[in-house]
Every structure is written in structure tokens, then in C-alpha cells.
Amino acid sequence: MVQIKRLQEEGIDTLAIIGEIDASSSIELDLSIAKSVGEGYKKILVDCGSLEYISSAGLGVFMSYIEEFSDKGICMVMFGLNEKVENNFNILGLADLLHIRNTKEEAKQLINELSV
Amino acid sequence: MSYQYNIGCSLSNLKGIREFIRTSLKDHSIPELELSAIILAIDEMCSNLMIHAHHCNPEHTIELRINEPNRGELVFEIIDDGNVFDINKFSEPQMDNLIHEKRKGGLGIRLVKSIMDKVEYVNRDGKNVCVLSKAIQINS
């Protein structure tokens, strides 16, 4: 079960993921990102502070947007990953392909730098 | 030790599988990150099987067994009677291709092969048995 809350401030759309993302729930993540993109946001923060688990279904959703983001000039930065979740990204080497920071402040700073 | 769990092939049961593994192995002094990676690998195998061999039919069941034949060696068996979904026969997709093709699948096999030491398939009593082995570091 996963819940995704969206909050817009200062032109940034923040998606807070609460719970677990596996093959049964990855569609929720996909829909939330698609909605943000559809609404025209160029800066997307993903708050993973309450993300307890992610399997390849969820990792694949993030990967599937890499090229579209690049084409459309959209920046996405993730933050707050716990050690276990971060390890799942690292096993696949995804941490090198995505923007990941520890805190929201660092993530905001990076997204503003990347968007200049 | 040996633990056994029977599950209907519904993706909503994946959480139960993860909890079963965690509960079964909680007293085995396995470092948390390693245990989490093992749970991820078994989740990937079961979801693959549910989707590709059983089309998520909740009336189909698979059985998961956890054995520790030797201290520090875990053997997981996933038993079913659907079509064999042998991950060894699938080449791991290149990350570049996955990104370019915007594929959301294909990562699971790569994860399982990275995490587990060995994945084998045997036929036992007319059923498919996928055997996944993993040597574990044990916290002293």
C-alpha cells in the first residue's frame, strides 16, 4: 500500500511517498509523476522520507522517466531515502542515473541549480 | 530450520511474503541491509512468477520455503505448477536500453542475479521448484 501526497510551492511540485512500492502499487507512483508532468511542472521533488520499501517495479517507474525529463527539461530530485531503500537503488547503480540528496534543503538547492 | 508459506497469486500478497521472510529470519542475526536485499530478491521472483506464469490469478498458489542447510547458508524454494519462468534464460537488459525504451520491467531479474548467489530450477514431483541460494554474513 502506498499513498502519494502532492504539494506545490515556489513552482516546485513535491511528491511525498508514504508506504511501500511494489508490483501491486507502482502504478500509483507512475500516475502521480505523470500528473505532475502533465500539469507542466519542471521541478519535481520526491520526498522519500516515509518510503519504507521499493522493488524493481517502482525503480523502473523512475527510470522510465529519465529520457522524457531530459527531453522536456524537467528536473527531478529525490531526498530522504532510508538506508534500505537507498541500497535497492545502489544495487542497480541507479543512484548514478538519478539525482538523490539527503535532505529537502539539499534537494531544493540542487533542483534550483539544475533548472538555471 | 525450515519455514513454509503458501500464497495465492495476487500481487496484493507480496507484502505478506516480505513479512513472512522477515519474521522467519528475524532471529538469524542477518545484517539488516543483507536481509532487506534478500527480501527484495524473493519479492521480485514471486511477482515475476505471479505475473508471467499465473497471470495474477489468485486461485493459483505458489509455495515458498526457507531452509538453512548449513549455518550461514540460506536456501529459498519457490514451488508452483505453472509454466517455468526461468530467469537464467533471460539476458539482463542493458540499463541504457531500459532507459531508452522507457521499459518499466526488466530490472527485477538484474536485481535477483545481483543479490542471490545461485538460481536453479528443478522438477520435483511434477512441480517446478526454483531454488535460490545465498551465503550470509552472520552478525556475531
User: Per residue in B45-61, pLDDT tens?
Assistant: 999 999 999 999 999 99
Calculate how close chain A gets to B96, using CA atoms only, in Å: 10
CATH classification of the domain holding B8: 3.30.565.10
Lowest mean pLDDT among A25-29, B70-74, B100-104: B100-104
User: Per residue in A63-97, pLDDT tens?
Assistant: 999 999 999 999 999 999 999 999 999 998 888 89
Residue B74: domain span: 2-135
In a domain, B140, yes or no: no
Question: Is pLDDT of A6 > 90?
Answer: yes
Smallest Cβ–Cβ distance between B32 and the set A30, A55, A84 belongs to A84
Query: By three-state DSSP, how is residue B39 classified?
Result: helix
| B43–A30 CB contact, under 8 Å | no
Smallest Cβ–Cβ distance between B37 and the set A59, A64, A91 belongs to A91
Q: Is the pTM of this model over 0.95?
A: no
- Number of structural domains chain B divides into: 1
* Contact residues on chain A for B14, CB-CB shorter than 8 A: 22-24, 55
Domains in chain A: boundaries:
2-114
- Whether the predicted interface score ipTM is above 0.90: yes
In a domain, B45, yes or no: yes
- What is residue A40's predicted lDDT score, i.e. its pLDDT? 97
**Fold of the A2-114 domain:** Transcription Regulator spoIIAA (3.30.750)
Rounded Cα distance, B130 and B79, in Å: 6
In a domain, B103, yes or no: yes
